[in-house]
Chains A and B, each alone.
Chain A
C-alpha cells in the first residue's frame, strides 16, 4: 500500500495558554513549533499499515509525508522521516498565504500526479481546529472519505473497515481504496490498526513510536523534494480572511469550599445551580 500523510506544524499546543494577541494579530513568539499531534498519529497509523508489527525493519509499502509551508517546515518533515516515513515532499508556501482550501487543492493536484492508495490525515490541526482539509480533499478527488477514525482494519490492502468516532458512538463503514481517512486520538491504541501484514495477536505499544538517534541520522539522507504551488497549477487564493484576534474574557476567580455541605449550600443559595 502506498500512503500519503499530509502534515502540519503547529505552535506547541501545551503552551496555547501563552498565546498573545498584538495589534489584532496572534503573536506566537516564544512558542515552539511541533508536529500537529493528530498528524503524528496519522504517521504512526500509516507505518502500522505498511509493516509487519513483529518485524518493523522491512517496509511492506510506502509512506510519503507532505507539508505545505515555508523552508523551516522541513524540520517537521525530517522528524516524520526519522520515525519511519520513506520520503518527503514540501510544497513551498508561506504560512499566512494559505487556508485549508488552498491546502486541499494543492494536495489534490499532487495526488493526481502520483498514485496513492490512501491519504491519511489528522482529523484537525490543533491551532485553527478547522477540521476541514480531509473532507475538502476527498471532494476535490471524488474519493470516499472516512473521518475521525478510531480503528482501521485493512482488508487485503483493497478496502478498509473504519470505526469512526461520532457524537453518539462508533459508526462503522467499509471504504474501498483509494480513499481519504482522517484519524482520531484513539487510533494509536495497541490494537486499533490491523492489516494482513501483522499477526492479529500482535500488540503495539500504546501511542506513537519515537525515533532513535540512528534513525534521526538516517533521516537526513532520505529523499525530500520541494515543489512549488505553481508547479501544481494552484494559486493561493484564501477563501477566508481573518480580520482580527482577541483573547477570551477571563473567568472570574472562584473560591475553595470547606467541605461537601458548604459546596451544596453554595450551589443552592449562591449559584442557584441546583
Chain B
C-alpha cells in the first residue's frame, strides 16, 4: 500500500532541471501526497524554485561534495531521506543521472525498481506502473512487491508539472557519509558541447538528422533549427559516424523524446530510432526513399532529396 512519495529533483548549474517536473507529475497522477528532495551542491539556493508545486515539504541536501553526480556519494543521503521521512515511493526522472543512481538507492532500501515508466494508476492503494518493453513495441503493466518502491519516470510521457501555488516549507536534511566506494571514483569533468538550443527533453520542436547528411549535418540542419527554435537530434548512425555529437542521439538507447513537432531528415526509421520519438505529436519525414520505414509513423512525408528540400523549407518558412 503506497502512501507517500518522495520526488528527487536534479540540479543543473545551480537550477532545478525541468525534467524533474515530470516526476512531480508522476506524484500527482499517483494521487498521493508527496515531498521533493532537492539534492546537489547549491540545492539550498534552488529549493525556492519548487515550493509552489504542492509538495508537503521541500527537503534540501546541499553539500559541497555533491558535485559531479557520483551515485556513490548521493545514494546514502537519498536512501536516508526515504527512511527518515517514512516515504514508500521514491521517484526519479529517467535521465542519465536518475538511471545511474536509482537502482543503487533501491538496493540500499531493499526496494523493487520500476524503470522508465510511462504512466501510473492507483488501484486501491496499489500503484500499477506501465512501462514500454521491446523498444516500445509492447507495454508491460507491473507492480512492485516490496514495501518501499523506486521508479524512474519518462520525461516524454509525463508532461512537466505546472506550479499550483502555495508555499511548501523548506527543510534541510542531514548529509550522510558517502559509500566507501566513493573514494574509488574521481570526478574528472563534464565535457559538454555548449549550445544555446533547448535540451532535447524540453524542446517543443526537434530537427533530427540521419546518416544521409554526412559532413553537411550542421550546415543543413542548423538554419532550420534556428528558424524553428528547435533542438537538434540525430540517429545513431549519424552519431557513430561523428556527424553529430553522441548526446544528440534519439532512440531506444539514446534520448526518448516527444516534442510537438519532430522532423526526421534522412533517417530511415529503424525500430530503435522509432522507439525514441514515435510519441511525438506531429512527425514529418523527409527521405528520398519512398519505402523508408519512417514514413509508417510520419504524419507528413516528403519524398525528396534532403539537400534540396531542407534549404527550400527554410526559405518557405521565412516567407510567412
Question: Number of residues in B with C-beta < 8 Å to the partner?
Answer: 93
Q: At the interface, yes or no: B284 with Cβ under 8 Å from chain A?
A: yes
Give, as a whole number of angstroms, the nearest-CB distance from B16 to chain A. Answer: 15
Q: At the interface, yes or no: B190 with Cβ under 8 Å from chain A?
A: yes
* A185-B253, A255-B300, A256-B302 as given contacts; A239 in contact with B193, CB under 8 Å: no
Report whether B96 and A166 are in contact in the complex, using a CB–CB cutoff of 8 Å. yes
4 further A-B contacts with Cβ under 8 Å, apart from A126-B135, A184-B253, are A129-B252, A248-B139, A263-B284, A274-B317
Give, as a whole number of angstroms, the nearest-CB distance from A95 to chain B. Answer: 14
Q: At the interface, yes or no: A61 with Cβ under 8 Å from chain B?
A: no
CB-CB under 8 A from A252, the residues of chain B are: 299
* A145-B72, A248-B138 as given contacts; A167 in contact with B247, CB under 8 Å: yes
| Contact bitstring B284-320, A, C-beta under 8 A = 1, else 0 | 1000001000011111111110000100110011001
Report whether A174 and B141 are in contact in the complex, using a CB–CB cutoff of 8 Å. no
Interface residues of A in 233-266 (CB under 8 A from B): 238-248, 251-257, 259-261, 263-264, 266
Report whether A13 and B135 are in contact in the complex, using a CB–CB cutoff of 8 Å. yes
The chain B residue with its CB closest to the CB of A249 is B139
Report whether A264 and B104 are in contact in the complex, using a CB–CB cutoff of 8 Å. no
Partner of A126 from B103, B188, B236, B252 at Cβ < 8 Å: B252
Give, as a whole number of angstroms, the nearest-CB distance from A54 to chain B. Answer: 25
CB-CB under 8 A from B300, the residues of chain A are: 254-257, 263, 266-267, 271
Interface residues of B in 174-198 (CB under 8 A from A): 179-182, 184-193
Interface residues of A in 62-91 (CB under 8 A from B): none
Give, as a whole number of angstroms, the nearest-CB distance from A14 to chain B. Answer: 7
| Contact bitstring A120-151, B, C-beta under 8 A = 1, else 0 | 00011011111111011011101111111010
Partner of B132 from A17, A248, A263 at Cβ < 8 Å: A248
CB-CB under 8 A from A126, the residues of chain B are: 135, 252-253
| Contact bitstring A158-176, B, C-beta under 8 A = 1, else 0 | 0001001111111111111
Report whether B190 and A166 are in contact in the complex, using a CB–CB cutoff of 8 Å. yes
Label chain A's interface by main secondary structure: mixed
Report whether A247 and B138 are in contact in the complex, using a CB–CB cutoff of 8 Å. yes
**B contact set with A: CB distance below 8 Å:** 12, 68-72, 75, 95-97, 99-104, 106-108, 111-116, 128, 132-146, 179-182, 184-193, 199, 201, 228, 236, 239-240, 245-247, 252-253, 255, 260-261, 271-272, 278, 281-284, 290, 295-304, 309, 312-313, 316-317, 320
Give, as a whole number of angstroms, the nearest-CB distance from B151 to chain A. Answer: 11
Q: How far is the CA of A170 from the CA of B141 in the complex (A)?
A: 33
Q: At the interface, yes or no: A101 with Cβ under 8 Å from chain B?
A: yes
Report whether A145 and B112 are in contact in the complex, using a CB–CB cutoff of 8 Å. no
Report whether B116 and A129 are in contact in the complex, using a CB–CB cutoff of 8 Å. yes
Give, as a whole number of angstroms, the nearest-CB distance from A37 to chain B. Answer: 9
Q: How far is the CA of A193 from the CA of B188 in the complex (A)?
A: 18
Report whether B138 and A165 are in contact in the complex, using a CB–CB cutoff of 8 Å. no
- 20 inter-chain pairs at a CB distance below 8 angstroms, sorted by A residue, are A13-B134, A17-B135, A130-B115, A135-B101, A135-B103, A135-B107, A136-B103, A144-B72, A168-B12, A168-B192, A185-B240, A186-B246, A239-B111, A239-B112, A240-B112, A240-B145, A241-B145, A256-B301, A263-B313, A273-B261
